[in-house]
Amino acid sequence: MPLDIKDRPKQKFRTKTVRIRFLDTHKFSDVNNVPVFVKKGDFIVIETEKGEELVLVLGNSVPDPENSYKFLRKATRKDIQIFDKHEKEAEKALNICKNFAERLGLKMNLLKAYIPLNRSKILFYYVSEGRVDFRQLVKDLAKKLKMRIEMRQVGVRDGVQMFGAVGVCGHECCCSLFMDKFDAVSVEMLEEQNLPPTPMKFTGICGRLMCCLAFEADNYSIRKDLPEEESVININGREYTVKRYDFIKEEVELIDENGMSVFYSFDELDRLGIKREQTGCGGCNGCGKNAGEVEIGE
């Protein structure tokens, strides 16, 4: 006798991990245990701390054991219609929030409002240089919108990622294309990469130093082990002056006693045992002390 549909065991699908993009912040992440029939370009519904969210699948990824997002279903036409409806509603709510914030004199730049599919709350993303006391704002919004209100402060780089922009290089900003987190970028990176010490030339659309400065930072970490420029080194009994380094080609230009240029790769310098001379009490064997030893009374 055939089983009723409700008594039949649920069909189990093989699963995989996919790369996704959130539609509110445009940030990237991964979702585990997604059915293998889900493909690039599909929309799926997942459960996050914000509620049920519609997200875009970018392709397959590697499993992430720390990921807590739960796959719910492949998005239906109704899910997409609800998302579009919520986007229009959120846009109106954002204008209301801006009016309330202006009336209260709050120094905050409101960027976007977002309502998850299950209407668990409405989120307002904003940028501010300092702390904002938005308690009265939240009360006014809750009374007006009849929804749970959540205010989320983001950085200026998050704002550019959220809306997208074209960088000074003429291409879409890296944060909008592929970056899932922002690395620290400092002025010291300009010196390390032999760039002119003029931060304004390397400032992005967001007003911060360009993220791409951090992409090659690891390539220049070898600098601390290389002899300083203009220092004199000895190779096979001959003295050479270090003129410059090319970190793209990974080679150094040396000037011999006759003023002629010769080139050595970083690997060749390493095989020859040529390193930067240590200074201070760093265990350089110059004074017989070990690193960290200090004589009292010196």
pLDDT of residue 9: 53
Contact 91, 113 (CB under 8 A): yes
Q: Please check the confidence at residue 35 and state whether its pLDDT lies above 50.
A: yes
pLDDT of residue 11: 56
Two tokens, residue 264: 């050595």
pLDDT of residue 295: 31
Q: How far apart are CA 40 and CA 55, in angstroms?
A: 12
Where is average pLDDT lowest: 5-9, 210-214, 273-277?
5-9
The mean of the pLDDT values for the chain is 83
Q: Express each pLDDT in 245-278 by its tens digit.
A: 777 777 888 888 888 888 888 888 878 777 765 5
pLDDT of residue 7: 53
Order of strands, sheet of 238-246, starting from the edge strand that comes earlier in the sequence: 232-235, 238-246, 251-255, 261-265
Q: Please check the confidence at residue 282 and state whether its pLDDT lies above 50.
A: no
Pick the more confident residue, 246 or 47. 47
**Which element (helix H / strand E) includes 138?**
helix 135-145
∠165-168-169 over CA atoms, to 5°? 105
Which pLDDT band holds residue 2 (cuts at 50, 70, 90)? low
What is this structure's pTM? 0.69
Contact 118, 51 (CB under 8 A): yes
Where is average pLDDT lowest: 2-6, 90-94, 125-129, 275-279?
2-6
Q: How far apart are CA 12 and CA 6, in angstroms?
A: 15
**Based on C-alpha coordinates, what's the Rg of the chain?**
29
CA distances, 253 to each of 250, 260, 261 (Å): 10, 10, 6
Q: Express each pLDDT in 50-104 by its tens digit.
A: 999 999 999 999 988 888 899 999 999 999 999 999 999 999 999 999 999 999 9
Where is average pLDDT lowest: 21-35, 36-50, 239-253?
239-253
∠154-160-162 over CA atoms, to 5°? 70
Asked whether the CA dihedral 96, 99, 104, 110 is positive or negative, the reply is: positive
pLDDT of residue 133: 93
Where is average pLDDT lowest: 117-121, 162-166, 188-192?
188-192
Highest mean pLDDT of the ranges 180-184, 256-260, 288-292 = 256-260
Q: How far apart are CA 46 and CA 83, in angstroms?
A: 13
Which pLDDT band holds residue 297 (cuts at 50, 70, 90)? very low
Q: Please check the confidence at residue 195 and state whether its pLDDT lies above 50.
A: yes
pLDDT of residue 86: 97
Please name the residues in contact with 137: beta carbons below 8 A apart, sequence gap of 6 or more.
97, 100, 101, 104, 106, 151
